[in-house]
Structure 1
Amino acid sequence: MLGGDLAREELALDVMVRSVLVLSKVAAEEMTARGRGAILNVSSMSAFTTMGTYAAHKAWVVTFTEGLAVELQGTGVTATALCPGLVRTEFHASAGLDASVWPEGAWVGVEKVAADALKAVRRGKVIVTPSVRYAAAGAVLRLVPRSLVRRVAGPATSGRAMV
């Protein structure tokens, strides 16, 4: 965030937080009225890290979706947060990130992410992390002391290290 463009940060907040809130509310109200449905919010493995405002936005999505899932219990509507790791899309280039800093084996296929997300939605699972390695990494990141997370999963490992 330091040295970054505040207007760009505010736009990211609107897209990654405010839009999730607004769209989830509208969807939840419509779906609960008919007694069925599912909400799938896209978060990230970054939600379990300390990689700046992006991680904070994605952590909000996870926590919000968990709270929404509890609120929706018994309505016939579910809420799921998708927490993928690295997926080859245009995201990295448009965010100004150097995708070459991550090894080829770190990437998960788009098809797998979509299939795992839909399977989790059908099961009513609240949080889904496609790929065994990212699920394990997410579990570790949630269990270890936050001071260690800040050292090993902070801005320096995000592809956009602060200078």
Structure 2
Amino acid sequence: MTSVAPKTTALITGATAGLGAEFARQLAEQGHDVVLVARDRSRLQEMAHQLENNYSVAAEVLPADLTDDAGVAAVVERLTDAARPVEILVNNAGIGLLRSFADNDIAEEKRHLKLHVETAMELSHAALRGMLQRRSGRIINVSSVAAFLPRESYSAAKAWLLSFSRWANIAYADRGVKVTAVCPGFTHTEFHDRMGMDKTLAPRWMWLTPERVVRDGLADNERGRAVSIPSKRYKILTAAARVLPDRLVAGPPRRPK
């Protein structure tokens, strides 16, 4: 009698839009059950309904504000539930700040840093315990090409994710856990619209689709690669950023629509 492998579960933060929604869709298409994390319960329920209908997977909703300690604690509790193990964690939730560092309220900057660094660190720590015990697991941290560039506190936060992911992949690969920083460039999602940024600053050739970013990211993670940079154009850009003067690679300042 042939045994059927149990389904694995993926937890995705920022799962109702953009890259998070695409990660949820592609993971569900691969047959993984999903736990969807975002702030808006109604959008989560709508997304869950679509995934269950389209891919015949179980989709659990977990409303949580990941800039808030209580919201983070709720997701940590789910990740550490040994009776319902999470095999794949996607730290995708993120926000952008349109104005320059000195012009932003420090409360905005602290919220931004907490979401991209502290929350991602805490959720990774919570997920790793069970993954290491099972000797199996995958963590994907959505960083950015900005991690290679001098671009305000956003670049600094994404550089932390990149560095952490590179280290963690070395530290835990032999124990069955793959960790990857996915570093997209400009991508057609709601991210820049929510910021209120003028997207015409970036030429058309620089824009990627969410489908491409997620497909490449998942494939690189499965191969055990610590860093995933979608498209040759951004691979070239990040390689150049390592040797060119900072002033040349910083790019133009963001501006509102």
TM-score normalised per structure 2: 0.58
Q: Does 1:15 align with 2:15?
A: no
Q: Sequence identity, in percent?
A: 35
Q: CA deviation at 1:160?
A: 4.3
Deviation string 1:72-124 (CA, Å, 9 cap, x unpaired) is 13111110000000101111122232112111111011110010001101100
Matches within 5 A, 1:47-86: 47-86=147-186
Q: Counterpart of 1:152?
A: 248
Q: CA deviation at 1:39?
A: 0.4
- Kindly report structure 1 stretches of 4+ aligned residues shifted beyond 4 Å: none
Higher relative contact order (CA 8 A, sep 6+): 1
Please say if residues 51 and 153 of structure 1, whose CA atoms lie closer than 8 Å, have aligned partners that are also in contact: no
Larger radius of gyration: 2
Deviation string 1:120-145 (CA, Å, 9 cap, x unpaired) is 01100000100000011111112x15
Query: Which of 134, 144, 148 lines up with 2:234 in the alignment?
Result: 134
Q: Counterpart of 1:91?
A: 191
* Distance (Å, rounded) in 1 between the aligned partners of 2:113 and 2:131: 26
* Distance (Å, rounded) in 2 between the aligned partners of 1:134 and 1:27: 30
Deviation string 1:133-159 (CA, Å, 9 cap, x unpaired) is 0011111112x15xx12x1232x5242
Please say if residues 69 and 80 of structure 1, whose CA atoms lie closer than 8 Å, have aligned partners that are also in contact: yes
Query: Which of 121, 127, 130 lines up with 1:27 in the alignment?
Result: 127
More helix by share: 1
Please say if residues 82 and 128 of structure 1, whose CA atoms lie closer than 8 Å, have aligned partners that are also in contact: yes
* Distance (Å, rounded) in 1 between the aligned partners of 2:139 and 2:121: 11
SS at 2:175 equivalent: coil
SS at 1:105 equivalent: helix
Q: CA deviation at 1:24?
A: 0.8
Deviation string 1:42-73 (CA, Å, 9 cap, x unpaired) is 00000011110000000010011111112213
SS at 1:2 equivalent: helix
Return the letter of the residue paired with 2:172: L
Please say if residues 141 and 181 of structure 2, whose CA atoms lie closer than 8 Å, have aligned partners that are also in contact: yes
* Distance (Å, rounded) in 1 between the aligned partners of 2:196 and 2:115: 17
Unaligned stretches of 5+ residues in structure 1: none
Greater CA drift, 88-97 or 31-40: 88-97
TM-score normalised per structure 1: 0.91
Please say if residues 86 and 108 of structure 1, whose CA atoms lie closer than 8 Å, have aligned partners that are also in contact: yes
Deviation string 1:8-65 (CA, Å, 9 cap, x unpaired) is 1111001111111011111111111111111000000000111100000000100111
